[in-house]
């Protein structure tokens, strides 16, 4: 009985490596990349001056993220577009965006500029029982303070440069404003904390607004509620 002829498997052959073509393409791509990097830095400088001129951060961010579209007009001055198809523009566009973003963040912080508002954290209320200060419990995001009991409100305020001022404003549920005299900033070991101390309030619901301002007049506000009963 005749044996079946064994089917030959196809042999994969690597194409010959063209060293000159590889070097040429690599050099071309490098030139485009070197265009994308200074382009991103240029856009960062432009958006920096936009912010300095009072233009909103949102518009500056839109300019930054859409700026790589302009590379389509710039790249032809560096390489021939028949050798560098549009589909290859993705890499230099990403390079440009990340370069812009890094430089933009750097230029948007001190000492160049300060666009970030202060951050208000760690809102706490303490009651004095005659011997020690005890932190008040919170129910449904509201603090409970005993009537006519001495208490202190403290907050932690952080900024990427310098906190210029922190103000507390308190009013009751019937619209009555409570005079507030801010205490000095906490002593060493409690930096960046501010406090307000009161000898005691009548029963009722109260709202406190905390306003923090930095050296560049960036403002942050938070509102909290507490109940005296």
Average pLDDT over residues 67-91: 82
List strand residue ranges (DSSP E) for 111-218, in order. 119-128, 133-135, 138-139, 142-145, 151-158, 163-172, 177-178, 193-198, 204-214
pLDDT greater at residue 9 or residue 117: 117
- The pairing of strands 219-228 and 142-145 is parallel
Is residue 54 classed exposed, middle or buried when 0-12, 13-18 and 19+ CB atoms within 10 A define those classes? exposed
In what order do the strands lie in the sheet containing 219-228?
Answer: 138-139, 142-145, 219-228, 204-214, 163-172, 177-178
pLDDT score of 5:
55
Q: Is the pLDDT of residue 186 over 70?
A: no
User: Is the per-residue pLDDT at 86 higher than 80?
Assistant: no
In the structure, what pLDDT confidence band is assigned to residue 178 with cuts at 50, 70 and 90? confident
Confidence of residue 34 (pLDDT cuts 50, 70, 90): confident
Mean pLDDT taken over the chain: 83
Instruction: Output the pLDDT for position 48.
Output: 93
Please give the pLDDT value at position 49: 92
Tell me the pTM. 0.67
- pLDDT at position 185 is 57
Comparing 6-10, 55-59, 129-133, the range with the smallest average pLDDT is: 6-10
In the predicted structure, residue 2 carries a pLDDT above the cut 80: no
Q: List beta partners, residue 165.
A: 213
- The lowest-confidence range among 70-74, 78-82, 128-132, 199-203 is 78-82
- Output the pLDDT for position 41: 95
Q: What are the tens digits of pLDDT across the range 124-171?
A: 888 888 888 888 877 766 788 888 888 888 888 988 888 888 888 888
Q: What is the pLDDT of residue 83?
A: 72
DSSP codes joined into one string, 60-95: HHHHHHHGGGGHHHHGGGTS-TTTS-GGGGHHHHHH
- Among positive and negative, which fits the CA dihedral 102, 93, 60, 76? positive
| pLDDT tops 80 at residue 184 | no
Q: How confident is the model at residue 94, as a pLDDT?
A: 92
Q: What is the pLDDT of residue 42?
A: 95
Structural domains of the chain, ranges and CATH numbers in brackets: 19-107 (no CATH), 119-228 (2.60.40.10)
Which of 22-26, 27-31, 91-95, 203-207 has the lowest average pLDDT?
Answer: 22-26
């Amino acid at each position: 009985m005749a044996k079946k002829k064994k089917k030959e498997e196809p042999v994969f052959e690597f194409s010959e490596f063209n060293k000159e073509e590889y070097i040429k393409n690599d050099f071309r791509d490098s030139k485009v990349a070197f265009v994308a990097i200074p382009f991103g830095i240029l856009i960062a400088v432009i958006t920096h001056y936009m912010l300095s001129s009072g233009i909103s951060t949102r518009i500056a961010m839109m300019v930054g993220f859409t700026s790589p579209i302009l590379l389509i007009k710039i790249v032809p001055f560096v390489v021939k577009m028949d050798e560098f198809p549009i589909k290859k523009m993705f890499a230099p566009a990403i390079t440009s965006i990340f370069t812009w973003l890094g430089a933009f963040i750097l230029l948007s912080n001190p000492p160049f500029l300060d666009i970030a508002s202060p951050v208000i954290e760690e809102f706490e209320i303490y009651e004095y029982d005659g011997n020690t200060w005890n932190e008040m419990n919170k129910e449904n995001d509201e603090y409970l303070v005993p009537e006519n009991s001495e208490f202190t409100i403290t907050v932690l305020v952080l900024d990427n440069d310098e906190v210029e001022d922190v103000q507390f404003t308190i009013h009751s549920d019937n619209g009555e404003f409570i005079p507030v005299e801010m205490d000095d900033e906490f002593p060493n070991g409690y930096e960046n904390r501010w406090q307000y101390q009161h000898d005691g309030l009548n029963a009722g619901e109260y709202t406190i607004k905390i306003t923090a301002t930095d050296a560049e007049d960036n403002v942050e506000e938070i509102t909290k509620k507490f109940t005296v009963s």
